[in-house]
Amino acid sequence: MAESLGRVALVLHAHLPFVRHPEHPDALEEGWLHEAMAECYIPLLARLERLAEEGVPFRLSFTLTPTLAAMLRDPLLQDRFTRRLELMRELAGREEVRARNQPALHRLARFHGERLAEVDRLYRERYHRDLIAPLARLQEAGHVEVLASAATHGYLPLMDVVPQAVEAQVAVGVQAYQELFGRPPRGFWLPECAFHPGHDRILRRHGVEYTIVDAHGLLFGRPRPVHAVYEPAVTGAGLAVFGRDWESSKQVWSATEGYPGDPVYRDFYRDVGWDLDWEYVRPYLRAGVRGATGFKYHRITGPTPMKELYDPDAGRERARVHAGNFVFNRAKQVEYLAGGMDRPPVVVSPYDAELFGHWWFEGPDFLEDVLRFMAGNPSVHTTTPAQHLDGLDGLALVEPTLSSWGYKGYNEVWLEGSNDWIYRHLHKAAERMVELADRFPHAGGLERRALNQAARELLLAQASDWAFIMKTGTMVEYARRRVVEHLERFLALHQDLVQGAVDPHRLALLEERDNLFPFLDYSVYASRREAAEPTISRSPASA
């Protein structure tokens, strides 16, 4: 590939909280995983593999959180996903019969049925129910770089009260990555792009080379970066830091200016699960509760409830037009930036992966076209943060400031009136976990299993998703229950360990229910400190 004026690093952050309920045959919240697999992960993988097979030169970064990876590899959840696909294909057949006298609606029902059949075929026959293996192959081929992330997506700035809690989230996340891919990660996705001064030292202790922060985290750093967010900086601990580009983010994310709000695109909210007769749709609803089925026949149309029928061909063509516009804008952006820099600028564009296909149905087509168009553009090419670092001979020193990509850019989403009550309990539990790790440095047998499970329950309670859900008001009771249940399990195990009387039956039940991270070693919470890793070099002028 010829040298370009600049580069774009597209980063898709794939994450879901750990939701696994063997005690419920049809848990409502397990639908989050099913929807993301059918509408986002499988379609994205298929398109990336197609590009690779056609020889299109492209680079893309993924973050795969440990909780999501654990669910994708879980046999129970795999079985439930295949059963869900079977049920949805049954609904597709019934929908074709129901709409047989309405040609436009019948075409849409058939479109949904064909799409589900393709997802089913890919999952069973091509991927053999393992979505991590194709991602690993794409990484081995040099098309994709996968970043590590925190164990359970804990919001790290608000865990800094107990430093070992942050250390454990990072250490377990890095180890989970190594277990999956057989190599150490170069990059680490901070949950919610949330950086806290000093956490760079923790990342470096675990061999991480770089991370990504929101724009203001770098722009308000000390000293101010000369080239804003368009080249990485390095902290005093030796961690390279990339800054998020606001312009490319707004074009995709913005509810008012972003591409996904185009009236031609499929409407996310209109669904037969809401529109059709209760007795007809009831067999296809999760837990017998009215909700989405994935059968959405209308386009956005406009701001009113009146919606016109969706046209898949028109939606596909609009995605192609928007992809061309995105690439044109990035080319003009790097042409402008390159005029004032002595090295190629890099535009870092991170997005939630679930936007592409789930929230924005045409998103996977848009992304495929962006990668195709950039491959043929002389001004701008795709890269990954690691690949971009490899081409640099020195980085300017900047100490980023506290920041996140949440509302208002700091901690407000995860610490406010609806969720502030959780933190005193989380901090106390973390302190007790450190005490346990120090008290039992060489535990074995049943005692060791209980210590590992206590660490597991604490990590699950710390997931940032629960505070986020409480703030947004979507599944509040579920989020509250998850925090309380994990803390109660932790406290029960703590009491057993302190009293020297671990209940083997209860422990086995907890190990089966919350079964992620089989490699977990509770001693990650011990209060010892380790020496920092060697630092990344920086230019003498910046020192």
Q: Phi and psi of 27, rounded to 5°?
A: -70, 130
37 in Cβ contact with 354 (< 8 Å): no
Cα separation, 107 vs 111, whole angstroms: 6
The label of the residue with tokens 């380790």 reads 530
Report the phi/psi class of residue 402: left, alpha or beta, with left for phi > 0 and alpha for psi in -120 to 50: beta
Residues whose CB is less than 8 angstroms from the CB of residue 390 and which lie 6 or more positions away in sequence, other chains included: none
Q: Is 420 annotated as a binding residue?
A: no
Q: Answer yes or no: 26 catalytic.
A: no
Find the catalytic residue in 29, 95, 192, 214.
192
Strands 233-234 and 240-243: antiparallel
DSSP classification of residue 291:
-
- Report whether 313 belongs to an annotated binding site: no
Q: Which tokens in the block code for residue 58?
A: 């492209």
Cβ-count burial 478-506 (b if 16+ within 10 Å, e if not): ebbebbeebbebbbbbbebbeeeebeeee
- Provide CB contacts within 8 A for 194, sequence distance 6+: 155, 156, 157, 403, 404, 405, 406, 411
Q: Which of 352, 435, 485, 511 is catalytic?
A: 352
Peptide bond into 223 cis (omega under 30): yes
How many C-beta neighbours within 10 Å does residue 439 have? 12
Which amino acid, residue 397? L
Q: Is 288 annotated as a binding residue?
A: no
Q: What is the DSSP letter of 61?
A: E
Contact 206, 186 (CB under 8 A): no
Asked whether residue 244 is marked as a ligand-binding residue, the answer is yes
For residues 390 and 500, give the distance between their C-alpha atoms in angstroms, rounded to a whole number: 52
CA angle 362, 363, 368 (to 5 degrees): 105
Whether 431 is a known active-site residue: answer: no
CA distance 285 to 293: 7
DSSP letter string, 437-449: HHH-TT--HHHHH
Active site residues: 192, 352
The binding site for substrate consists of 244, 261, 405, 465
